[in-house]
Structure 1
Amino acid sequence: MQIIVLGIVLIICLITDLKSRKILNIVTVPTIIFGFVYSIIISGFNGLLFSGKGFLVGLSLLLIPFILGGMGAGDVKLMAAIGALMGTEFVFYSFIYTALIGGVIGLLLIIKNKGFIPLLKSTLFNLVFLRSNLGEIIISQDKKGRISFPYGVAIALGTLCTLVWGGF
């Protein structure tokens, strides 16, 4: 049952994030509630702990990037919903796959938009002088010239990888 709900939620969030760059509360909040209620019905107090820990881990994994302005609150709530539904271990592995996929997407977008040679020069300069703006991988360019993409794509693909391959 959890996997079916997870699949539906990921598809909806993927579509809305691609269309409007938003992951909607009307999807994530009921998913979080469902995760808790389902786990409590199935396992009682242990189910509450299962969903609670998963929720907190999912929330905390993306909280710092959100606070730093690197992603939206919908991304954070989606990861928390995944944790509430599937538990701590699952959401952690989903996060690892998501980060890897997000990094690859970001690198490809940077190469596409800025070219490979300028990217290589900039990266080497940043490494030599220990500058910390290597992580500004954000498909639309804003006023500051940052490149952004809907991170829900990476979250959906990372979670799918966890469903298919599990942990490491």
Structure 2
Amino acid sequence: MMIKTVLIVALLISLITDIKNRKILNIVTTPSVLFALFYYTTTLGLEGFVFSIKGFGVGLGLLLIPYMLGGMGAGDVKLMAAIGALMGTSFVFYCFLYTALIGGLIALMIILKQKGLVITIKTFFYKIVFFQSNVGSIVLKKENQTGISFPYGVAIVLGTLFTLVWGGF
């Protein structure tokens, strides 16, 4: 119960700061990871430490490539790693799946709202037809706007809450 309380507090703070300032703070993620390591090590010994480290690694690994490609901020990656450290590998994997679905729906709604779906599809096929290598960097171009973005921490928080409520698939 204590682990879930720490998780929910970290999620709520991250949600607020990501919406307000577009940042997920290290002051939230780092203590969450340290608490998880301490808690699992003191309650389960070496097995608990390994459980938490594996969860941290899976959480980190799931979002590391999108971060390296510029698709999200480091705070999103650290939040997912903290979730993994707190809840373990299978939980963070299901959390990632829910997060990806929710993030995709949010992105689709934003694109549709900005009436840029047709432009995005045309750009995508243009890049495929003319063999341009940066297909993954499709952006909707508008006046004074270079791309569509939203605070992905919202999707991470919702995906984690869905996992808490419904578990895996």
Runs of 4+ in structure 1 over 2 Å off: 114-138, 141-144
Can you give the 5+ residue segments of structure 1 that lack an aligned partner in the other structure? none
Matches within 5 A, 1:76-155: 76-126=77-127, 133-134=135-136, 136=138, 145-155=146-156
SS in 1 for 2:114: helix
| Native 8 Å contact 2:76 2:152 kept in 1 | yes
**Cα offset, 1:137, TM superposition:** 6.8
Change in 2 beyond 3 A, CA 1:64/1:42: same
The amino acid across from 1:95 in the alignment is F
Normalization by structure 1: what TM-score?
Answer: 0.89
Can you give the 5+ residue segments of structure 2 that lack an aligned partner in the other structure? none
Matches within 5 A, 1:1-150: 1-126=2-127, 133-134=135-136, 136=138, 145-150=146-151
Q: State the identity %.
A: 59
**What is the distance in 2 between the residues matched to 1:68 and 1:85?**
26
1:167 aligns with 2:168: yes
Deviations 1:43-102 (A, max 9, x none): 111100100000000011111111111111100100000000000000011011101111
Change in 2 beyond 3 A, CA 1:35/1:142: farther
**What is the distance in 1 between the residues matched to 2:34 and 2:19?**
25
| Native 8 Å contact 1:107 1:137 kept in 2 | no
**What is the distance in 2 between the residues matched to 1:127 and 1:79?**
32
Aligned-residue Cα RMSD (Å) equals 2.2
Number of aligned positions between the proteins: 166
The amino acid across from 1:74 in the alignment is G
**Cα offset, 1:114, TM superposition:** 3.5
